[in-house]
Chain A
Amino acid sequence: DTAVSQTPKYLVTQMGNDKSIKCEQNLGHDTMYWYKQDSKKFLKIMFSYNNKELIINETVPNRFSPKSPDKAHLNLHINSLELGDSAVYFCASSQDMTSGELFFGEGSRLTVL
């Protein structure tokens, strides 16, 4: 039973398209995150939500719009995809905003052609 699950795992699309990645956690955690792992393998935070409220938005283009319908879900919608958006996107959750122990999903590899 996967704790943090994200779909799809692989996504190949053309420049200019709009796509979404969904994330769900069944751990009962209050806080959820999106991280981006770029081609240099660095993991960088994009957003964090606590109880559906946006907490962190780290210099991410406004083409990226997270949505949290409830505290168990944090979806990522990307408009007008660009080549530089190709990366692996990881969803994660933590008990609350003070816990550094994050539980990550398996990642969604986005390839923009």
Chain B
Amino acid sequence: DQQVKQNSPSLSVQEGRISILNCDYTNSMFDYFLWYKKYPAEGPTFLISISSIKDKNEDGRFTVFLNKSAKHLSLHIVPSPPGDSAVYFCAASNNNAGNMLTFGGGTRLMVKP
């Protein structure tokens, strides 16, 4: 039972354009959401997070939007250089249930020069 879903296994964008990665969740108890980036042969690295009390959080080129009614979040990357090509994982947690992150299956972003 996947509680966090990333329905697009891959996404291809042109260098300099906006990349939009999507994530859906089913567990209404989730109250904290994160995005991680992973290069091959490396561990995931934290990018940005958002609490359920907000609907937007911005950090440099990265913005995360949260739509609680739709149980949907998205990560916007503007602009996208080729170095952003990686797998992006969405994750969610319920802070009352300890720090247990539930990850989506990832979306492979390919930024073409």
Contacts and interface: CB of A to CB of B under 8 A. Distances in A.
A26 to B, nearest CB: 15
Give the interface size class of chain B: 20 to 34
B70 to A, nearest CB: 21
User: Most chain-A CB neighbours within 10 Å: which of B34, B93, B99?
Assistant: B99
Interface residues of A, number: 27
Given A106-B41, A106-B42, A97 B98 contact: yes
Interface in B70-113: 87, 89, 91, 93, 95, 98-103, 105-106
Interface stretch (B12-20, B21-29, B43-51, B52-60): B43-51
Nearest to B89: A43
B34 A101 contact: yes
Contacts of A101: 34, 46, 49
B62 interface: no
A15 interface: no
A57 B105 CA distance: 21
23 contacts: A31-B99, A41-B105, A43-B44, A43-B89, A44-B103, A45-B101, A48-B98, A48-B99, A55-B98, A56-B98, A56-B100, A58-B100, A92-B43, A97-B98, A100-B93, A100-B99, A101-B49, A102-B46, A103-B46, A104-B45, A106-B41, A106-B42, A107-B42
Given A98-B95, A101-B46, 16 more contacts: A4-B43, A41-B87, A43-B89, A43-B103, A44-B103, A45-B100, A48-B98, A55-B98, A58-B100, A94-B99, A99-B99, A102-B44, A103-B43, A103-B45, A104-B43, A107-B42
Interface of B: 2, 32, 34, 36, 41-46, 49, 87, 89, 91, 93, 95, 98-103, 105-106
Interface of A: 4, 31, 40-45, 48, 55-56, 58, 90, 92, 94, 96-107
